[in-house]
Every structure is written in C-alpha cells, then in structure tokens.
Structure 1
Amino acid sequence: MLDKYVVKNGKKMKYGYTTGSCAAAAAKAAAYMALKNKIIDKINIETPKGWILTLDVIEPAIKIKGQSAFCFIKKDAGDDPDITHGILIGADVEIIDTPDIIIKGGEGVGKITKPGLYLPVGQPAINPAPLEMIRSEVLKVLPDNKGAIITIIVPEGEKIAKKTFNPKLGIQGGISILGTSGIVEPMSDEAFKESIIIELNMAVNNGLDRLVLVPGNYGEENAQKLFGIDKANIIKISNFIGFILDKCIEKKIKKVLLIGHIGKLVKLAGGIFNTHSRVADGRLEIIAANLALIGASKEVIKKVFQCVTTEGAVNLIEEYKYHEVYGILCRKAEERCISYTHENLEIGVVMFSMEKGLLAIGDKAKEILEEF
C-alpha cells in the first residue's frame, strides 16, 4: 500500500517495500491480534526512511489462539525486478509475561552457517535494521509488563533462496530478511545511470568541481560522519564506478573521492570498474594476493579463501595484524583509477568495514580530503 513513485529515464516507477518491512508489519499485526483477540485487516508501520506504510494483513491465513496469533504480509517490490516480489512473509507471535522481545527465524528464513556476515553463526539471517524494525514496531503495541516471542516465516523462502547468493555466503535454508531503509527504490541499470548523470549535471551547474562518490547508503553515512562532508557534494553511484568516472571527465570534474566498503572498493585494486558481483568479483583473490606480497603465510592465505565475505577477511587481517594491507589496497585502487582515467582526474580512495570502521585512507585521498 505504497503510492509513491519516482521518474527514471522518463518512466514513472513505483516504490516498493522490503522483506524487513513485511516482517515488522506481520509481527506488529500478530502481536496486536494476540493481545486484543481481534482480527485486523490493515497495519501501520514506520520505516527507517521515515515513510509510514499501511499494509494489508492477509486474512485467509490469520490465526488467533490464546495469547498467540499468526498472519502474513505480501511483499510488494513496486517496479523493481526483485525476486521476492509477491511472496508472503509471516510472523507467529506469542505474548509472554516478561518484557523481553525474542526474534527467531522459522520456515524459509535462512540460517547463518559461516563467519564473516553481520550476524553470528547459528543466527537467523535477519539483518540488523529489520531486527530493530521488528522490535520497535512490536513494542508500540505491547503493554509495559509484556514481551513477545516472534518467529518470522517465509513459506517460499527455501525455494527462492536457491536463486540468490545466499548458498554461496553460507546462508542455508531460506532467504535473508533485508532492507536498511524499509523501502525498495525501483531501478534498472540504464534508469539508474541516467539518474546519476542528472545528479552530476546538477552538481556541475552548482559550480562543483570536486565530488565524493559512494556505492550506497553506508558510504554516504561514513562520508558525512567520518569527514563531515556536506551531502550536496556526495553522489551515490551503486556499482557503476567506471561509468561515472568517465562522466566526471566529460563534465570537467577535477577531483573525485571514492568512499565505501572494502567489499566494493577493493575490486578497484584489481582493475574491476563495475563492482556488481555478477559482473566480476575477485575480492578475496585481490586481498589474498596482496597479503602474500607482504609476507602472509600459506595458512593465512588459505583462511582468506575460506571466508564468505570481505568482513570475514578483515577479521583475519586484524587477528594476524596485517593492517598495512589496507593502505596498500587503497593506493593500488587509486593507481588503477588514475590509469583508467588516463590521469584526467585526481582520484582518492577511502575504505571502511562495517565492524572495524575506517580501515585506510589512500595517499591521494588524504590530499583531496583537505579540500572538503
């Protein structure tokens, strides 16, 4: 029930809402029904983006028994080509007499089986932002002296997960419950590239000749939080780093600062300029090769290749105290970017980790940062 649109490439495209929003809405609705012993057909939630959603509670599946209730919410990805569009996401909620919120993963919700993700091994694959959404929305309907045991269920989750990267990441048995903003913004590659060009044109028209490019929300947050960079100087570019660097040259931009997660920007050190994992990966290979060059043992290199994410590799680097590799990776990423643009741009690279925070600032990045 989200009647918001964005125009991309001349086409009106509808926003959707995430699996995290669905889980939070189902949990809140089930908690309310268990407390009131009353069926409802709609539920309101507030997303981290600040938008209020009014979602339909799927009536044929509603069950109330004693201090427990169960219901589904239907996922709507809007006009985004999302594999989870149209699936049902449910919550089984039991009200308890202690003020605790316990969130579990049921049928169709993946389980973490390998280290290196944002959650411990053995936990359900419900990411931190959706976990917080579920807690906060359920607390809105619970009396002070009551708590809840919440089990999230996705009947089609195990089948759908086989078409995702979850098995490769060591997430078994279902999908991940995702979404940092609670909202799905529709995009196609061409439409998104067009939107980047529009932002770039606006920046140029406003007289800017230095820009900060970030892959996504986390990069933007860190650019503002770590360095106090004004949001007006920041453009989100997703995976299209090579594309936007070319456009920056075309628009006479002089200096670019790339700030982002090591999982994206480490690819630049290997000459990869479209960082989507389906186009090219090599993250662990690049990290492993550079660790070997500074003397890491065969044992450490093997462990790097056993990681499922760059966060896992970062934990290994911290454990074995090879911190110097971060600076090396930043410098190599800068060198590759400068070579890619034939020295028509000054380019600096800053890498961070979700768990460890700022990892390294490239030599060129240090110079450019002084100008922001």
Structure 2
Amino acid sequence: MGLMWRFFAPEGEVRAQKTYNSRLGILGGISIIGTTGIVTPMSEESWKRSLSLELEIKRASGLTRVILVPGNHGERFVREQMGVDTQAVVTMSNFVGYMIEEAVRLGFCQIVLVGHPGKLIKIAAGIFHTHSHIADARMETLVAHLALLGAPLELLTLVSDCDTTEAAMEHIEAYGFGHIYNHLARRICLRVMQMLRFTKTPPVCDAILFSFDNHILGSNRPVDEIAKELQC
C-alpha cells in the first residue's frame, strides 16, 4: 500500500505575482525551488542565460519590439510614464551588450533602452557591461559631453568631483544643461549601432533616460513617438 502526498502553498498565486514566474511561463501558482529552501547564487553565465530565456519567451509569443531595462525602476517608468504594456519589458541587468546581441539573434526589429543615467551613460562611452567592477567612467563621460555642448569649466570641475550621478545631475540642472540627456541618448544609440555595424539587418535602437523620481530626462527622439511604435 503506497502513500499519496499532496503539497499546498497557501497564497501561492498571490506570492507568485511578486516573482518572475509569469515571465518564464510558470502560471497558476508559485514554484517551489529545491529541497533545502536555499537558492544557490547563479554564476554570471547562468544569470545571463536566464535573462536570455525571458527574451526567447517574449519573441516566441509574437513580440517583435522589446524594451531592455537595468531593473525594476525601468519597468515602473515604462508602465507609469510611457503607458506601454510591460509585457514588452525585459530586464538586462548589467549585461547590456549581451542582451542586445541576443535580441538581434532572436530577430527583434526594435530595441528600446530605458534607464537612469547612472547606468545608461556608460553605454555612451562604449561600455556594454555596466557593473562597476568592469568599468565606470560616468563622470568622465558626463564631463566630456558637457564640454562638447560648451559647458563652462566651473561646471566641468564640479561634475568631475562628484561621487554619484545624482550629485552631478544637480549641478547640471543648476547650470541649465539639462539638454545633455537628449544628447547622451543619441550617443547611446550611436554606440549600439556601432556595435552592430556588421549585422545584416540591425534593429531600430532608441534610448530613454529618466530620473529616480520617474520623470523623463531625455531621449534620442520624442518619447510619445517611441511609445506609439511599441504599441503597434
């Protein structure tokens, strides 16, 4: 005579809404991981593969346009400020170059990079892995592009001495150089297209920068125009 075991996870469906399950096609409840209750940290390659899997699922569902964000702040911005279905959003974490290449491999026709300048301005310098242990150059990038826009030496010095992007942004606003964010967004797209220069049919690339309080700072072209295309 055998035994039949039945396992229950109270409020499983509710708790699952706070996870990535639905994005990975796991519906109807929460997933139970392992037997110890401990989740072993992924290697970087495993982490990248899990993010790529989400891209594959989106593409298999019929999506041809994708929004890549560093993390949850980007998804909230897309939902609240762009009015776009967050089903088009995929987290890229620090793996910008890898995820762009994966999106190209899967045949997406439009890639929109959405994030805070603290992450995305690194792309303007040709840095496609944005973790600080790989490279930084945030202040150097800001100083270089402010100089290109004719910023005074006093502002360049203030920004160069900043420890955080937020602190630099306060000086940029005080000196009336907020238009740098449109400039940086265009530069980001240029860098992406340079990276994809050997791609036979490269996708359309857009970039949108936003502040921590969820306001649009700049973009390579009007955000409404980008949002309209994403809703097609």
In structure 2, what residue type is equivalent to 1:265? L
CA–CA distance in structure 2, aligned partners of residues 292 and 236 of structure 1:
32
Aligned to 2:51: 196
Query: Once the 2 structures are TM-superposed, how far is the Cα of residue 368 of structure 1 from its aligned partner?
Result: 3.2
In structure 1, what residue type is equivalent to 2:118? G
SS of match in other structure, 2:229: coil
Q: How does 1:15-54 map to 2 (within 5 A)?
A: none
Aligned to 1:302: 157
Query: Once the 2 structures are TM-superposed, how far is the Cα of residue 187 of structure 1 from its aligned partner?
Result: 3.8
Aligned to 1:292: 147
Query: Once the 2 structures are TM-superposed, how far is the Cα of residue 353 of structure 1 from its aligned partner?
Result: 1.6
Bigger strand share: 1
Aligned to 1:274: 129
In structure 2, what residue type is equivalent to 1:353? S
Query: Once the 2 structures are TM-superposed, how far is the Cα of residue 299 of structure 1 from its aligned partner?
Result: 1.4
Q: Which runs of 5+ in 2 are unaligned?
A: 1-14, 25-32
What TM-score do the two structures reach when normalised by structure 2?
0.79
Aligned to 1:66: none
SS of match in other structure, 1:225: helix
Matched, 1:328 2:183: yes
In structure 1, what residue type is equivalent to 2:103? C
In structure 2, what residue type is equivalent to 1:233? A
Cα deviation digits, residues 209-258 of structure 1 (max 9, x gap): 10111000111111111101212111011000100111111111110111
Report the CA distance shift for 1:190/1:304 in structure 2 as closer, same or farther (over 3 A).
same
Identity %: 34
Report the CA distance shift for 1:79/1:6 in structure 2 as closer, same or farther (over 3 A).
farther
Point out which structure has higher relative CO (alpha carbons under 8 A, 6+ apart). 2
Contact 2:77–2:214 at 8 Å: present in 1 too?
A: no
In structure 1, what residue type is equivalent to 2:169? V
SS of match in other structure, 1:222: helix
Aligned to 1:26: none
SS of match in other structure, 1:370: helix
In structure 1, what residue type is equivalent to 2:205? I
Query: Once the 2 structures are TM-superposed, how far is the Cα of residue 367 of structure 1 from its aligned partner?
Result: 4.2
CA–CA distance in structure 2, aligned partners of residues 216 and 14 of structure 1:
29
Aligned to 1:214: 69
Q: How does 1:252-263 map to 2 (within 5 A)?
A: 252-263=107-118
Query: Once the 2 structures are TM-superposed, how far is the Cα of residue 357 of structure 1 from its aligned partner?
Result: 2.4
Query: Once the 2 structures are TM-superposed, how far is the Cα of residue 324 of structure 1 from its aligned partner?
Result: 1.3
Report the CA distance shift for 1:208/1:287 in structure 2 as closer, same or farther (over 3 A).
same
Cα deviation digits, residues 292-341 of structure 1 (max 9, x gap): 11111211111101111111111011110011111110100011111112
Bigger helix share: 2
2:92 to 237, 252, 267: 237
CA–CA distance in structure 2, aligned partners of residues 348 and 6 of structure 1:
25
CA RMSD of aligned residues (A): 2.6
Matched pairs, number: 200
Cα deviation digits, residues 13-68 of structure 1 (max 9, x gap): 7999xxxxxxxxxxxxxxxxxxxxxxxxxxxxxxxxxxxxxxxxxxxxxxxxxxxx
CA–CA distance in structure 2, aligned partners of residues 14 and 198 of structure 1:
24
CA–CA distance in structure 2, aligned partners of residues 356 and 316 of structure 1:
19
What TM-score do the two structures reach when normalised by structure 1?
0.50
Aligned to 1:354: 212
CA–CA distance in structure 2, aligned partners of residues 256 and 196 of structure 1:
15
Greater alpha carbon shift after TM alignment, 271-280 vs 294-303 = 294-303
Report the CA distance shift for 1:187/1:222 in structure 2 as closer, same or farther (over 3 A).
farther
Query: Once the 2 structures are TM-superposed, how far is the Cα of residue 356 of structure 1 from its aligned partner?
Result: 7.0
Deviation >4 Å, runs of 4+: 4-8, 12-16, 364-367
